[in-house]
Amino acid sequence: MKPPHQAALGRALLLTSPSLGPDVVRALERITGRPAGTARDAAPGVPVVHVGDTLPEALRTPELLWFHSVNAGTDSLLASGPWPGGALLTRTVGRMGERIAQYTLGWMLAEAQSVPEHSAQHARAQWNRLPSELVAGTTAVVHGAGRVGGAVAALLRACGVRTVGVARTARAEAPGFDAVVRAGSAEEREALSRARWVVSTLPLTGGTERFFDAPRFAAMRGATFVNAGRGATVDMLALETALHDGSVRRAVLDVLPDEPAGPAHPAWSLPRTVITSHSAGITADEDVITDFRVCWESVTEGRTPALAVDTERGY
């Protein structure tokens, strides 16, 4: 994706979604040096830079120079209609990698220290010794070797966990990982068979929908599965089967294919599963401001931002 032409950027309107708070909007105005409006302020022939969570259909036009998403995932944006040709798409990552890394480690340690069982015993006023487990020396397979997956791997490695990343292409080196293997390879299956923990940070694309299917779950041989990526990357019926037959020991699901999950949603009935309501990597206002500022600096210097999304691949 190429950055917008400087002349067009110089006269572009800054538009924001209603969901953005006033402090964020004021910060965007300071960064760009222009007042912010809303979609109703768009005019024919006038270029637009839009910041928000959704892109109004009326702005999916050649006038759109750049859309900066306040979210890390852009699958819903790209699925809701054809992306305007030539328009730059960037996203907000902020400190999401750190947050998801802490989330992952927190649930791993909770399981290793029998926290759910101790909590249940406390509620029953029972005193029984329960076993604990060291996470150091275990293996975690992290699907997704990008910014978020790398942050997860780095924190786990600091705790003595061996980390194997799974990516579209194998790599000799990747920050945070002891090794990276190719998705769908014999090396991935071997890694899954040895894993104590399997973590997903995958985005949702045409290639990752229902990525975690029956064969992958069967290959895990008793690993705990943590999904902090996208819900639709998991075949939920296959996960249910794996939980019942023991190939998946436990599941921690921050995301589901259909959200929000109502009281009758079948996911609530999955055995040995915790659902955390898409809260592992909540984006803070400061993340939006910081990442937009970095992208703005790149664009005004004629460079494609590091947070640019390949709209063909979806990430």
Query: What SS3 string covers 245-296?
Result: HCCEEEEEECCCCCCCCCCCCHHHHCCCEEECCCCCCCCCHHHHHHHHHHHH
Residue (of 277, 233, 235, 232) closest to 252 by Cα position? 277
Which are the contacts of 228, defined by CB distance < 8 A and separation ≥ 6? 100, 103, 104, 148, 152, 199, 200, 201, 254, 255, 280, 281
Q: Nearest-CA neighbor of 279 among 250, 251, 255?
A: 255
278 noted as active-site residue: yes
- Residue 259: active-site member: yes
Catalytic residue among 63, 230, 240, 250: 230
Distance CA 233, CA 145 (A): 16
Contact yes or no for 21/42 (Cβ under 8 A)? no
**Rg value, the chain, Cα:** 22
**Helices (DSSP H) in the chain: which residue ranges?**
6-10, 22-32, 75-79, 96-112, 115-123, 147-158, 186-194, 214-220, 236-245, 285-300
Instruction: Give me the catalytic one of 57, 117, 190, 259.
Output: 259
State the Cα–Cα distance between residues 93 and 291, nearest whole angstrom.
7
Nearest alpha carbon to residue 200 among 264, 152, 244 = 152
CA distance 282 to 108: 20
Residue carrying the six token digits 């909590």: 119
Residue with tokens 């769908």: 184
Question: Among 157, 171, 278, 293, which one carries the catalytic annotation?
Answer: 278
* Residue 40 a catalytic site member: no
Tokens 């939006």, residue?
A: 288
> Which sequence positions are flagged as catalytic?
230, 259, 278
